[in-house]
Chain A
Amino acid sequence: MNWNCEQIEASLSDYLEGALTPEEAAQFVAHSGTCAQCQELVASVRGLIGAMHALEPVAAPANLMPAILNSTLGPRPTSSGWRAWFGWTRVIFQPRFAYGALTVLVTFGVVTQALGIQLRMPTVADLNPVNLYRSADRTAHLAYAKGSKFVGDLRVVYEIKSRLEPSEDETPQKTPAAAPSSTPGCSSPGRSGRSSRW
């Protein structure tokens, strides 16, 4: 049975959204292809949906957000007079400001030390780039030399220590063997022997 105009109208959105079965869609197309009135209706509704989807949202008024916050959370306290001018100073009394200031001071001290700037008696020559470079270079070399000497000393200490003390994996193997031969006649020149001499 062929569809009439009422059926076309009732299933217009389903057709435009692709929700009709193939048979229903065929019936829809068959009727709307021959009926000028339905053809016009389909075209206008299709255009309308496209136009509505392309429509930009309306910009909300700028004072909407503050108004909503005021109406829900209550009006926020506003400062006036000298409080309005010096309100920003409150940030100084926050702990994070103290941490930040301390970090800046320490960094400044380290940098000035590295650059060799005498803070007690600063001279113009201290700010000469060549002097700054030399001082930084000297400080870096000194720091490197100190570091390498420290590492070298550590290595020597570690070597001496490792010779004096048996390693942990060797101790349980040698201890039972050494226990019965603790007589003066038995002299195995192992690490345990040396350890006992020391």
Chain B
Amino acid sequence: MRRHSRRIFNLCYRFTNQRQEAEDLSQEVFMRVYKTLGSYRDMYGAFGTWVTSVTRNLLIDHYRRTRRDRLTDSMEEVTTQVESKESSGMRPDHSAAVTELGEHLQKALAKLSPDLREAVILRDLEGLDYSEIRLVLEVPEGTVKSRINRGRIELARVLTEMGIRPN
């Protein structure tokens, strides 16, 4: 339970880039899992994969619900990014650099389309293999690979535009 909750929270946080939203969504995921536990079958894959699939569906629903709000907030985000970029480079230690890179990655991820974002998160941040991602996203494996590849390239470009070059 604890392991799943942490993983689900991470998934929600990486997708939404908001801690409070991620917390609320995590609760919602477990509510849904609890209610639909009887419908779980082995054909959906491992239990963790099924929970990830439930999370993904909820995230997509949430994304569609909040699309309008995000458009109005986009200008504020740009301002925040510029501010954080200006304050970067002041932390000499490695862990601070990693944290900083994580923050930049988080912001860059938010700029990707949901299809590419979820594919990259599941593959590179959650460590799922292609067959598991295929089950979660309910698309062919070729599409999964293509989305991950395009997502990575897009993410690298966004980071370059932000002046970040991960080593």
Residue ranges of A at the interface with B (Cβ–Cβ < 8 Å): 9-14, 41, 44-45, 47-61, 64-65, 67-68, 71-72
Contacts and interface: CB of A to CB of B under 8 A. Distances in A.
A44 B165 contact: yes
Contact of A60 (B5, B30, B101): B5
A108 B131 CA distance: 63
A173 to B, nearest CB: 67
Interface residues of B, number: 36
Given A57-B7, A58-B9, A71-B27, 12 more contacts: A12-B149, A41-B156, A48-B155, A48-B159, A49-B124, A53-B124, A55-B98, A57-B10, A58-B14, A60-B5, A64-B26, A72-B31
Contacts of B34: 72
B106 to A, nearest CB: 9
Contacts of B30: 68, 71-72
A68 B30 CA distance: 7
Contacts of B31: 71-72
Given A44-B156, A44-B160, A54 B125 contact: no
A44 to B, nearest CB: 4
Nearest to A59: B6
B26 A52 contact: no
Contacts of B134: none
Top 9 closest pairs, chain A to chain B, by CB = A51-B166, A13-B149, A52-B124, A47-B166, A60-B9, A72-B34, A44-B156, A68-B30, A60-B6
Contacts of A45: 152-153, 156
Given A55-B105, A55-B125, A68-B5, A49 B152 contact: yes
B25 to A, nearest CB: 11
Given A60-B6, A64-B23, A72-B34, A13 B124 contact: no
Contacts of A47: 156, 165-167
Nearest to A43: B165
Contacts of A68: 1, 5, 26-27, 30
A58 B145 contact: no
B148 interface: yes
B2 interface: yes
Contact of A56 (B2, B7, B13, B102): B102
B149 to A, nearest CB: 4
B148 A13 contact: yes
B62 interface: no
Contacts of B148: 13
Nearest to B20: A61
B156 A52 contact: no
B145 A64 contact: no
B70 interface: no
A11 to B, nearest CB: 8
Contacts of A12: 149, 152-153
A67 B165 CA distance: 39
Interface in B14-73: 14, 19, 23, 26-27, 30-31, 34
